[in-house]
Structure 1
Amino acid sequence: MTEIAFTETEERAELRRQVRKLAGTYGREWFTEKARSGEKTTDLWLEIGRNGYLGINIPEEYGGGGGGIGDIAAVCEELAAQGCPLLLMVVSPAICGTIISRYGTDAQKQRWLPGIADGTGTMAFAITEPDAGTNTHNITTTARRDGDEWVLNGRKTYISGVDEADHVLVVARAEDARTGKVKPVLFVVPTDAEGFEARPIPMEIVSPELQFQVFMDDVRLAADAVVGDEDGGLVQLFAGLNPERIMAASFSTGLARFALDRAVAYAKERTVFQGPIGSHQAVAHPLAQSHIEVEMARLMTQKAAALYDAGDDLAAGEAANMAKYAAAEAACDAADRAVQTHGGNGITQEYGMAGLLVATRAGRIAPVSREMILNFVSMHSLGLPKSY
């Protein structure tokens, strides 16, 4: 049985302090200004890359820090806690970096990982499709062999940051020549490839990182575009999806901490009747409740990361789903309570609270919905009959 530490190492704590310090020099106002003006947060992205934080989970021999998912999750959380949530951290170093580190050839690792680690070679990830949604088994993007090449056709939706990425790791279905059955295969696709088109999706969320529909029409790829064993199946895919859930949990707990910190500061200084509003239990108790919920979600996230880094993929899958669920619920409640604490000021741009309602709400939907997590837990953790 894997032993899980309930306190982080001093090294991890120092990592958090340094990321917090760096992100604090930018802050929420800078982040939202970039988002509202249609600009990117490239300066922050490249700075965390130069400092070694972006690729902290990438092996040292490929330009990374040699750490684990727990380390990159800590970076993600601290950025969000300073009001600068970087969604592409979930995608580029955590999903793509992990899959390539685990299953890529040495040539692929040499080619892709250094750029992922320092931020100069951002890679997006494309799995979700309009007609498949959460049901990954129903994706219809196909890959067929044509001599020494592969040809991709299909479409993806809600693909983050395609405009900031040079390449996309695409999940497609190929036919097994021996069995005739379809299987998931992973391909690195250049975003400037002929036949590859990306269209932005208008979103209500205030973020500099955009969402896209992606269309692939006879996109031709060399044989070395395949990452890992083309017969590796779901095992390779979930090597990236479990870290995705852990990172999503950290993204949520970071946002929750930011909302809670702002609400507590406001409750300490805002006076309406006698004394600050934080002296009234109607304000104090909801904030205290959120603090408890966030800390429980952080602990579950720590457990999931430790299990994953220890190589216990089965237990990590269960814990990652639970962490993602708990963190999203805690974040939604924290954002709502932060808005309520601010009263009318909570829905102004000046105080920046209302935008968190949409940002945290996304965590209940993506990268896997709360309902599918409940399906997973009821079936795999509780042994109940499959319900979907």
Structure 2
Amino acid sequence: MSTVLETPELTALRAAVSALGKRHAGSGTPRDYDRAGLWSEAAKLGYLGVNLPTEYGGGGGGIAELSLVLEELGAAGCPLLMMVVSPAICGTVIARFGTDDQKQQWLPGLADGTLTMAFGITEPDAGSNSHRITTTARRDPSTGDWLLTGRKVFISGVDIADATLIVGRTEDSRTGRLKPCLFIVPRDAPGFQRSQIDMELAAHEKQFELTLDDVRLPAEALVGDEDAGLLQLFAGLNPERIMTAAFAIGMGRYALTKAISYAQTRQVWKEPIGSHQAIAHPLAQAHIELELARLMMQKAAALYDAGDDLGAGEAANMAKYAAAEACVKAVDQSVHTLGGNGLTREYGLASLITAARVARIAPVSREMILNFISHQSLGLPKSY
């Protein structure tokens, strides 16, 4: 399902990824596919690192290509959530701001799937207010090492990640204020502990709370410039929003495909139920809204890949908002179309009722996006 915004190369990539997803998903549900097997094959085909530089084994593309891959895998019923984190956030940040040694150490593995990196920003007492992050990093004057202390929560895939890119804060020697910085923390670093959060959501990727108790890191664990602050952070957060939109659009398309197939064949009276406007029109509306969200996602990706961080920030937030709303509506209407069958494991839709809400909540809530648009785009005053 290509669009007028796509080049022939992107259309070919979409078709190839769609075929891969359908091969792995088969007739199962989003909980049944072999995640490790799909991750490995997608990596071998170059899909996981399609956004990373060619000199490190990547495809030399951008977030436009990577979001397309995630969308198509989701539409086939086998989304890879860690694509949002490992190549999109961590890979992008290291490619843009990492040292030569960090690039050599991490990018080839992130591109070929042999290495995975998680991302830790959310904290129990900070929520959406990144200025309240309390994970702090201080230097050991005797060695030059960094010592990290703090907590993180709702961090995806830490158990399968080789390291976690942690957002901490250091003290500005001139002002005394804390400023955000990024650190690569290996999974086996002493003092770095994780505990799994018991989630109602059924997903391959587990959620964890992290505790950092004076985790000692070498000086070279710092990614980029200590004084770059929010510039480096948002270099990863904008791709995260675009990829979340792709995740939501793929999920919505998957649900809608199931509902359309059912509406075409389910017959209660003389005609299939899809011939009735009460069934057909809500599905058509859900399709329209998913397509509109995809256009905004493609705009956001194009702006980001062109280096327009400011424009990409606005568009990425809009895309994430639109995709989340469209996904929730598509899933709800699909389940409703199937009636009781929509709640059975056989059709694989019931679990999406919970999963679809994730895109509304993470990585930033729809209310905070509306705050951003009202303040930054419309110039309205803040209420906080």
Query: Retained in 1: the 8 A contact 2:30–2:348?
Result: no
State the alpha-carbon separation in 2 of the partners of residues 372 and 325 from structure 1: 10
Residue in structure 2 matching 1:10, options 8, 11, 20:
8
**2:346 counterpart SS class:** coil
- Aligned amino acid, residue 21 of structure 2: A
State the alpha-carbon separation in 2 of the partners of residues 33 and 103 from structure 1: 38
State the alpha-carbon separation in 1 of the partners of residues 29 and 331 from structure 2: 20
Task: Name stretches of at least 5 consecutive residues in structure 1 with no aligned partner.
Answer: 35-39
Residue in structure 2 matching 1:201, options 185, 197, 201:
197
> CA deviation digits over 1:26-52, x for unaligned, max 9?
116264136xxxxx6111111101100
- Aligned amino acid, residue 7 of structure 2: T
Partner residue in 1 for 2:31: 32
Partner residue in 2 for 1:215: 211
Residue in structure 2 matching 1:228, options 224, 228, 239:
224
TM-score if structure 1 supplies the norm length?
0.96
- Aligned amino acid, residue 161 of structure 2: A
State the alpha-carbon separation in 2 of the partners of residues 330 and 227 from structure 1: 36
TM-score if structure 2 supplies the norm length?
0.97
- Aligned amino acid, residue 280 of structure 2: A
State the alpha-carbon separation in 2 of the partners of residues 87 and 8 from structure 1: 24
Structure 1: which 4+ aligned runs deviate by more than 6 Å? none
Deviation at 1:367?
Answer: 0.5
Partner residue in 2 for 1:37: none
Partner residue in 2 for 1:75: 69
> CA deviation digits over 1:183-205, x for unaligned, max 9?
11100000111101111111111
Query: Retained in 2: the 8 A contact 1:189–1:225?
Result: yes
State the alpha-carbon separation in 1 of the partners of residues 106 and 5 from structure 2: 33
Partner residue in 2 for 1:121: 115
State the alpha-carbon separation in 2 of the partners of residues 241 and 160 from structure 1: 15
Partner residue in 1 for 2:369: 373
> CA deviation digits over 1:172-229, x for unaligned, max 9?
0111223221111100000111101111111111211100000111110000000000
Query: Retained in 2: the 8 A contact 1:259–1:338?
Result: yes
Query: Retained in 2: the 8 A contact 1:245–1:367?
Result: yes
Query: Retained in 2: the 8 A contact 1:52–1:64?
Result: yes
Question: Does the alignment pair 1:136 with 2:133?
Answer: no
State the alpha-carbon separation in 2 of the partners of residues 344 and 132 from structure 1: 40
**2:181 counterpart SS class:** strand
Residue in structure 2 matching 1:325, options 321, 324, 327:
321
Partner residue in 2 for 1:149: 145
- Aligned amino acid, residue 140 of structure 1: T
State the alpha-carbon separation in 1 of the partners of residues 198 and 129 from structure 2: 24
State the alpha-carbon separation in 2 of the partners of residues 269 and 326 from structure 1: 30
Query: Retained in 2: the 8 A contact 1:31–1:41?
Result: no
Residue in structure 2 matching 1:53, options 47, 50, 53:
47
- Identity over the aligned pairs, expressed in percent? 64
Partner residue in 1 for 2:383: 387
**2:333 counterpart SS class:** helix
Partner residue in 2 for 1:244: 240
**1:286 counterpart SS class:** helix
**2:31 counterpart SS class:** helix
Partner residue in 1 for 2:21: 23
**1:386 counterpart SS class:** coil
Question: Does the alignment pair 1:314 with 2:314?
Answer: no
- Aligned amino acid, residue 238 of structure 2: N
Aligned length in residues? 379
Partner residue in 1 for 2:59: 65
- Aligned amino acid, residue 89 of structure 1: M
- Aligned amino acid, residue 195 of structure 1: G
Residue in structure 2 matching 1:191, options 187, 192, 199:
187
Query: Retained in 2: the 8 A contact 1:6–1:299?
Result: no
Deviation at 1:387?
Answer: 2.1
Task: Name stretches of at least 5 consecutive residues in structure 2 with no aligned partner.
Answer: none
> CA deviation digits over 1:318-344, x for unaligned, max 9?
000000000000000000000000000
